[in-house]
Chain A
Amino acid sequence: MSGLLEQLAIMLGRAPRRPLKVTETAAAIHAAKRGRGVKRAELLEEIHDANENHTWRNRRWMVLIGINLLFTLSFWVDIQILEGSLTASRFIGFHLADPYSSLLVVLSAKRVPVNLAIGAATIALFWGLVGGRAFCSWACPYHLVAEWAEMLHLRLASRGIVRDHPIHRATRSVLWVAFALLTLLTGYALFLVLNPIGMLSRALIYGPSLALAWVLLLLAFEVLYARRAWCRYVCPIGLTYGFLGAKAPLRVTYDLESCAHEGECRKVCEVSHVLELTIKGRAEDAKMDVGPDCTRCGLCVDICPTGALRYELKGVKRLL
């Protein structure tokens, strides 16, 4: 359990540390790899191939666009499958609600609406099984536009035009509490006014709005100043899903043996602290799960030149 607590602490903002204890198998692998430098040069070909591989990203984008299209079409063509927006909706009649937005509404209204509780519980259960922050990379429309902004940021950064200014990750944890407390004190779900996910989701369904200016401002900030700032350092919705998926069976798993430690995965990762276990000498065990902050986006799975990072559905092997 201390492993889980450690992982949650890292998600809340603590820097990952060198492991205190390493299993014998892992120690043996570490020992065998010692003295051998990271053979980037030898891997170059594989790295290059991996860079061309967008299998999971493309699948994910299709799912993400599909989900948001289902919302839009449910309204525009009135197919009535997924009605509402990402903050709350009904899927063929069943209530769904975003857990953090629901919490804020409960705190501001100071009562628990039954339908909202049912909706939030359903969503918590679903993403708890499918992988917590998988919501972010597989459903959230802001994640997609932020990915595009990130591409632009990286392109500009590679030319030295912009530079990333990392922000302390504990900011997100502090804001999670602050937004909730403010809501309790004022009686308004204040955060929902800043929430680019809701704005974007509503704009996609009900038509563009002035509120999109705020979304553009955030994206500009991410391009020019801090890479993926909203998702990394602010979004309380994402953090909530992180908690919900802390024990999710769908994980990205890491295989120490086959890892070449060249570090391509950490460069593409939105939450690279979860991949610090791929740094040489950091892994506690020969096989490890990537932490709860992982959005299961699969960019690392796509880019890993040695196949050391993979998707895995825990317990399936045991069931079969």
Chain B
Amino acid sequence: MSEGRAPALPPQSKKAKPPRLSREQEQRRQVLRGGVAAVGLLLLQPLAWIPVVRRWRERLRPPGALVENAFLGACIKCGQCVQVCPVEALVLADAKDGFGLGVPYIDARRQACDFSCDALSCILACPTGALSHALHTKEEVRAGVARLARPDACRARKGEGFRGLARGDRFSGRLRYEEIDRWNPLPVRDHPYDREVCDLCVIECPIGEEAIQLVPFDDGSGQRRMTPWVKRGCVGCGVCEMICPAEPAAIVVDARAEYGEGRGRDPGNEARGPLEAAPKIEADET
């Protein structure tokens, strides 16, 4: 390298001139610097704990993710799951997630997991079992549970239909429209809807009526209206949240929630079935 041979210019400041040190002094300084550097690096790490402990971000995790702490510990942050997802629903979290850095999550409103891959490709791609190989079908996934978070914004409950593009013409999300193309997910913006009563969350649900149904309910004024009813087959994939034409979405997925958790008093939940806890995956059996 030419730098090694660069002509030695006279030092511009005397400060930069190394002080003459004995061997022992130099050795002692090196050890001291090493100690400071090591302690510094080790003390820096607990900072990454804060976002996790304080639960700053409740992330919707990919199918088969172990319970949150085990998941963060087992993920090697390689992104192979990101690469195999046909709709690119998975993204890797940034430094703001602390230990979650480089760990995959799903922003359902941007792009939900629509199981276009059929085979749970992300689980198959995961080299560490952070996404549990114990799952084989989409119906077994328990990423979270959908919840009608803004019932007043729900078009069905207002008795409205829906015509047009669910998320506008600039939305980049894709979805599998099985009747058009079984194998390739298509852009949502190329697929206009025309529904008498808005039921996009129900018709696009990859699980079907085991997970969500449109049911009649009484809104109190004596008028019979329809409302989506999330059932215990819901896997938390987030397609309902992505496709909901209300802005912000009337229906959202609560990451890692269990069915029936804290939602007994939701309006329109009269028809809700018995509470049933989703099975928790503590560790991969395989």
Contacts and interface: CB of A to CB of B under 8 A. Distances in A.
Contacts of B94: 209-211
A261 B2 CA distance: 19
A210 B96 contact: yes
Given A109-B73, A160-B11, A87 B34 contact: no
Interface string B1-32: 11111111111110011100000001101110
A311 interface: no
Contacts of B74: 105, 108-109, 113
B44 interface: yes
A102 B77 CA distance: 11
Interface in A180-227: 182, 187-194, 198-199, 202, 205-206, 209-211, 213-214, 226
A22 interface: no
A88 interface: yes
A205 B34 contact: no
B3 A299 contact: no
Nearest to B99: A188
A198 B45 CA distance: 16
A175 interface: yes
B45 A193 contact: yes
A4 interface: no
Contacts of A74: 83
Interface stretch (B35-43, B54-62, B188-196, B254-262): B35-43
Contacts of A205: 79
Contact of A194 (B1, B9, B45): B45
**Interface size band for B:** 35 or more
B69 A187 contact: yes
A85 B4 contact: no
Contacts of A210: 94-96
Interface string B118-129: 000000010111
Interface string A101-144: 11001001101011110010000000000000000000000000
Contacts of A267: 4
A88 B83 CA distance: 12
B73 A88 contact: no
B72 A105 contact: no
A174 B41 CA distance: 12
B102 interface: yes
Contacts of A171: 34-35, 37-38
Contacts of A115: 127-129
Contact of A159 (B5, B12, B95): B12
A234 interface: yes
A154 B10 CA distance: 15
Contact of A167 (B30, B72, B91): B30
Contacts of A119: 127
Interface stretch (A26-34, A61-69, A89-97, A243-251): A89-97
Interface of A: 47-48, 51-52, 74-75, 83-85, 87-90, 95, 97-98, 101-102, 105, 108-109, 111, 113-116, 119, 151, 154-155, 158-163, 165-171, 174-175, 178, 182, 187-194, 198-199, 202, 205-206, 209-211, 213-214, 226, 229, 233-234, 264, 267-268, 299, 303
15 contacts: A83-B84, A84-B83, A85-B78, A85-B79, A88-B76, A97-B78, A101-B76, A105-B128, A111-B283, A160-B17, A182-B45, A190-B99, A192-B102, A199-B101, A267-B4
Which 4 residue pairs spanning A and B have beta carbons closest together?
Answer: A160-B11, A171-B34, A88-B78, A154-B3
Interface of B: 1-13, 16-18, 26-27, 29-31, 33-35, 37-38, 41-42, 44-45, 48-49, 69-70, 72-80, 82-84, 91-92, 94-96, 98-99, 101-102, 125, 127-130, 283-284, 286
Given A47-B5, A90-B127, A188-B72, 11 more contacts: A87-B78, A88-B127, A89-B78, A162-B16, A166-B26, A174-B38, A188-B69, A189-B73, A194-B44, A205-B79, A206-B79
